[in-house]
Structures are given as C-alpha cells and as structure tokens.
C-alpha cells in the first residue's frame, strides 16, 4: 500500500481523535486548550485536503482507492478519493476551519463549550466520512453521524424555540434516513453487493425496469429532504435560525451540500445513471426551489430566517445546474456549490456577529450598525454582493454559467427563472444592508463594539475567498472543478475506473 494512499483514512481519524480527546480532557483542562485542540485538528484537515488534491493532481490515475482492512473491493469497504470528493473535502474543511476559529469567541455565550466542540468534530467526521467512502451502507452510517450531531447542535441553546425546531428537524431527518435505508435494501436485494462501483457495474449489466426508478425516487426523497429541496424544505427555515450562528453557518454552508447534494449527485450520476427523465425532474425541482425560496425570503424580518430561505433558493440553483446534466451545467452547479458554501457561511457568521454584539436578530430593531461594526458591515456587503450575483464577485460567475447552460440546452424558462431569482435575491439583500447597517444608530445600541478578534479574522478571510473565487484566481480551483466535472460526466464509467484501480 503505497504511502500516498495512506492519507485518505486520516480525513476520518483526525476529527474522530479530536472529538474523543476533547470530550475526555474537556472538564479537566482550561477552556483555551479545547479551542487550541479543535483549531489545530481543523487546520490539519484543511492542509490535508489541499495536500490530497496535490497528490490527486500529479498522480497517474484520476482516482485513489484505499481498501480498508486490506480486503479486496467488493468484500471489504473501500474509500475513493476522486475529483468530486476532493472538491467537497476542500469546501467542507475550509468552512469548518473558519467556523471553528469563529466559535472560539462566539460560543462564550453558551455553557459547556467542550461538548459543543465534541459535537462539532463529530459532525465534521460524519461529513468527511460520507464524502470519501465508496460503500453505500457506509455512506448511510456517516450520514447518520452527521445528522445526529446536527440535531443535538441545533438544540444546543436549550431555549423553547430551539428545542421545537430541533425536534421537527430530527423527525424529518429520521424519516428521510429510513427512506434511504429502504432504497439501500432494495439495491442490495437486486445486486447483492454494497460497493457503489460494484452496484453500478451490476446495474449496467441488468437494469431493473421498475426497480431502478423506484429506488431513484426513494433516494430523491431521502437526500432531497437532507438538501431541503422544495417539497421537503419545511424543517430548514426553523432549524437554521435557532441553531447557534456558527452551527447554522456549518448547516447552510456545507451540511445540506454534503449530506444532500453530493450524495444525490453521486447516486444519480455514478450509480443509477442519469437519464432524461431524472434530469427533467431534478431541473423542475431546482427551479421551484429557486423561486419558492426567494419569494418566501422577501417577507422575512428575522435576519437568520431570511438567510435560511435563501439557502433553499441557492440549493435550487445548484440542483438546476446538475439537473441539466450537460458539461456546462455540471460545471456551473459545482462552482455555485463551492461559492455558496463560502458566502452563505460568511452571511451567517455576520448575523452571528450582530447577534453577539446587539443580541437581536430582528432587522426592524437594528439600524446604523455600520458605524460601530465596520468589519462586519463590509464583509456582509461583499457576501451580499456575491450571493446576489454582482459581477466582480464569485456568485455572479457561477450563476452566469448556470444560466448559459440553461440557454445552451434550450430551457429558456429555467434561465428566466434563474434571472428573476437572482434579481429578487439582490432586492432582499439590499433590504438587509439598508436596515442593518445604514441609517442612524439606535439609542440602545450606542455603546456596542465590534466583534472580537477571532470572529473578525474568520469573516475577513472568508470575504477574501469570496472576492478571489470570483475570477477563478484561487490556485487550482479551475483544475479542481474540471476534474470534478469529469467524474460526473463519466457517469457509470466510475465503476470501471474504481474497480480497475482497486484490482491492481
């Protein structure tokens, strides 16, 4: 087993070790050590994901397969690191590192910080494990780890509203997991193997006439609920606002992407194989999510609920991009996925900074905070510009690619819907900017001060990534997106590459 492959399991071992150590030493040691341990392990993960991408770039084969326990592929569990999972790992670990740095200060308002960091590391374990696994049941187990950690984190503040939101989220999440589990059971009954590549190989030899569409619908319902697509989005507007700000940044930023969109895309493109029917269903759901999310967001006065509704509409953009199943559409979807997790987590971190300073989330109560909180105001401005799709920022480019892909494929209606959605997003974020930061300062917020240093650091760096991401200036981002796009375009060819490399 050459050593280049050995880094793949580290993506799960490091956060797991971090979680167990934090929960072990949490009570005996001073608070600062817990922050250091969590920050170091997140930084290690970030550098590991960048290092992993370099290995992927200059490695001979496009896919790295790691056989856990030394067993041959269909018998044991294998971990697969290819373009798509590389991109997802990079996104998850960037956002996780800055959120972990941010919550060093933000979590002072909550009791029992070691438990928060343990659950945070466990959620990170679940997401990293889900992205790199090559086994369908393993994907379900890590999905459960990330979901249970997020149920507990949403209810971390133990206020009445948060408990109810977390209960609703937990119930809908468990129903979605049981749909996914029934789907896995059907696939196992039909193909009698659990390895994703092996299932794709068997499905291509004997396609189930009625079984494959049924399993596709089950997975669409299960993963669609985790990704908050429109018919299943009811939990998101309650769960995200009531979670602590750093957790709602993680939830909106990466959790609905890895648990929902990544799993949906991996199953539909690489295992079941994308056909015309599935792509039109996905495009339709994406378009509806886009419009419903942004229309509902217009009438919101609670800042975090407004951001949560925008998450639904931006997820709609990404699903629309993937639903097109054309090279340009997939590229747009992937790029928007990366951009959205950056600027949406930045927006939630800003709302957390406002909540930290003023204690309120209601737009009507705030005004003129820009004078007292310049850093938060500017980063919020950058993030609002990029989510609304203003040219120099990254949101514009990814939305442009999706709209061009819609036109290229001849779906003018969807392209129009994307443009309207973008305009409405701009309108509602202008409202946020005006009410929160412009205007004169209210009396009771006379003496509020800027967010503490760690929070400012996280927000500034994320804003810089927003700007750099726009012109694809980030080194290697272009290569990464093209590589991830090829993984999806080869569809069920994924099975031959993985099985080929695993056989060596």
Positions 231 through 290 that interact with another protein (CB under 8 A): 234-235, 237-238
Q: Please check whether residue 283 is in contact with residue 267, taking contact to mean a CB–CB distance below 8 angstroms.
A: no
The DSSP secondary-structure symbol of 133 reads B
75 binds another protein (CB under 8 A): yes
Query: Nearer Cβ to another protein, position 137 or 284?
Result: 137
Q: Which of residues 302-341 bind another protein (CB under 8 A)?
A: none
Which one among 359, 391, 413, 500 touches another protein, defined by CB under 8 A?
A: 359
Q: Please check whether residue 432 is in contact with residue 306, taking contact to mean a CB–CB distance below 8 angstroms.
A: yes
111 binds another protein (CB under 8 A): yes
Which one among 59, 174, 204, 433 touches another protein, defined by CB under 8 A?
A: 174
Candidate ranges 54-62, 72-80, 316-324, 434-442; the one touching another protein (CB under 8 A): 72-80
Helix axes 327-358, 394-408, angle to 10 degrees: 150
Tell me how many degrees the CA angle 258-259-263 measures, rounded to the nearest 5.
80
Which one among 67, 408, 450, 496 touches another protein, defined by CB under 8 A?
A: 67
Candidate ranges 12-20, 34-42, 286-294, 419-427; the one touching another protein (CB under 8 A): 12-20
Which one among 182, 381, 416, 441 touches another protein, defined by CB under 8 A?
A: 182
189 binds another protein (CB under 8 A): yes
Cα separation of 231 and 252, whole Å?
18
**What is the 3 state secondary structure string of 73-86?**
CCCCCEEEECHHHH
Exposed, middle or buried: residue 10 (CB in 10 Å: 0-12, 13-18, 19+)?
Answer: middle
Candidate ranges 56-64, 69-77, 373-381, 492-500; the one touching another protein (CB under 8 A): 69-77
Output the smallest distance, CB 137 to another protein, in A. Answer: 6
Considering only CA atoms, which of 380, 146, 348, 169 is closest in space to residue 249?
348
Tell me how many degrees the CA angle 468-253-25 measures, rounded to the nearest 5.
110
Paired tokens of 266:
């991996």
83 binds another protein (CB under 8 A): no
Q: Which of residues 143-172 bind another protein (CB under 8 A)?
A: 144-145, 148-149, 151-153, 155-161, 163-168, 170-171
| Partner residues linked to 135 by β-bridges | 195
Query: Nearer Cβ to another protein, position 194 or 417?
Result: 194
Site string for another protein, 14-43 (x = CB under 8 A): --xx-xxx-xx--x----------------
Tell me how many degrees the CA angle 467-287-271 measures, rounded to the nearest 5.
90
Candidate ranges 35-43, 190-198, 414-422, 490-498; the one touching another protein (CB under 8 A): 190-198
- Tokens 């600062």 appear where? 32
191 binds another protein (CB under 8 A): yes
Site string for another protein, 115-134 (x = CB under 8 A): xx-xx--x--xx--x-----
Paired tokens of 467:
């700007």
Output the smallest distance, CB 4 to another protein, in A. Answer: 14
Q: Which of residues 339-358 bind another protein (CB under 8 A)?
A: 355
Considering only CA atoms, which of 245, 210, 218, 490 is closest in space to residue 356?
245
Whole-angstrom CA distances from 387 to 9, 119, 168, 383 are: 34, 29, 28, 6
Considering only CA atoms, which of 236, 122, 133 is closest in space to residue 184?
133
Output the smallest distance, CB 389 to another protein, in A. Answer: 28
Query: Nearer Cβ to another protein, position 17 or 281?
Result: 17
Q: Which of residues 390-429 bind another protein (CB under 8 A)?
A: none
């Amino acid at each position: 087993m050459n050593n280049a492959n050995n880094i793949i399991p580290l993506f799960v071992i490091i956060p797991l070790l971090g979680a167990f150590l934090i929960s072990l030493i949490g009570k005996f040691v001073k608070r600062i050590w817990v922050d250091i341990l969590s920050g170091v392990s997140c930084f290690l993960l970030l550098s590991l994901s960048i290092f992993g991408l370099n290995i992927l770039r200059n490695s001979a084969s496009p896919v790295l397969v790691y056989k856990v326990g030394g067993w041959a592929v269909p018998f044991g569990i294998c971990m697969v690191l290819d373009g798509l999972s590389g991109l997802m790992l990079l996104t998850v670990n960037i956002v996780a590192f800055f959120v972990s740095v941010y919550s060093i200060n933000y979590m002072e308002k909550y009791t029992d910080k070691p438990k928060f960091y343990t659950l945070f590391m466990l959620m990170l374990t679940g997401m990293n494990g889900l992205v790199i696994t090559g086994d369908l049941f393993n994907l379900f187990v890590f999905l459960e780890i990330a979901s249970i950690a997020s149920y507990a984190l949403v209810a971390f503040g133990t206020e009445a509203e948060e408990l109810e939101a977390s209960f609703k989220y937990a119930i809908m999440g468990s129903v979605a997991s049981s749909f996914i589990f029934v789907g896995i059971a059907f696939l196992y009954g039909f193909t009698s193997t659990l390895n994703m590549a092996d299932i794709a190989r068997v499905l291509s030899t004997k396609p189930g006439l009625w079984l494959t569409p049924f399993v596709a619908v089950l997975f669409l319902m299960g993963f669609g609920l985790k990704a908050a697509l429109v018919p299943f989005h009811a939990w998101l507007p309650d769960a995200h606002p009531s979670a602590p700000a750093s957790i709602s940044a993680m939830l909106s930023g990466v959790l609905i992407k890895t648990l929902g969109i990544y799993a949906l895309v991996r199953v539909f493109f690489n295992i079941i194989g994308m056909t015309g029917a599935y792509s039109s269903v996905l495009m339709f759901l994406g378009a509806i999510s886009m419009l419903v999310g942004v229309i509902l967001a217009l009438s919101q006065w609670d800042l975090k609920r407004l951001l949560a509704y925008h998450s639904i509409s931006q997820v709609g953009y990404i699903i629309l991009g993937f639903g097109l199943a054309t090279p340009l559409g997939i590229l747009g979807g992937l790029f928007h996925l990366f951009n959205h997790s950056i600027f949406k987590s930045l927006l939630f971190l800003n709302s957390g900074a406002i909540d930290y300073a003023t204690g309120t989330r209601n737009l009507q109560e705030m005004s003129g905070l820009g004078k007292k909180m310049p850093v938060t105001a500017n980063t919020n401005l950058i993030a609002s510009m990029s989510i609304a799709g203003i040219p120099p920022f990254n949101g514009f480019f990814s939305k442009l690619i999706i709209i061009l892909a819609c036109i290229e494929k001849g779906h003018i209606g969807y392209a129009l819907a994307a443009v309207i959605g973008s305009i409405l997003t701009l309108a509602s974020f202008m409202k946020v900017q005006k009410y929160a930061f412009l205007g004169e300062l209210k009396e009771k917020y006379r003496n509020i001060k800027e967010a503490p240093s760690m929070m400012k650091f996280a927000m500034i760096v994320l804003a810089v990534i927003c700007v750099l991401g726009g012109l694809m200036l980030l080194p290697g981002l272009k290569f990464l997106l093209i590589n991830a796009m090829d993984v999806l375009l080869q569809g069920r060819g994924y099975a031959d590459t993985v099985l080929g490399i695993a056989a060596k």
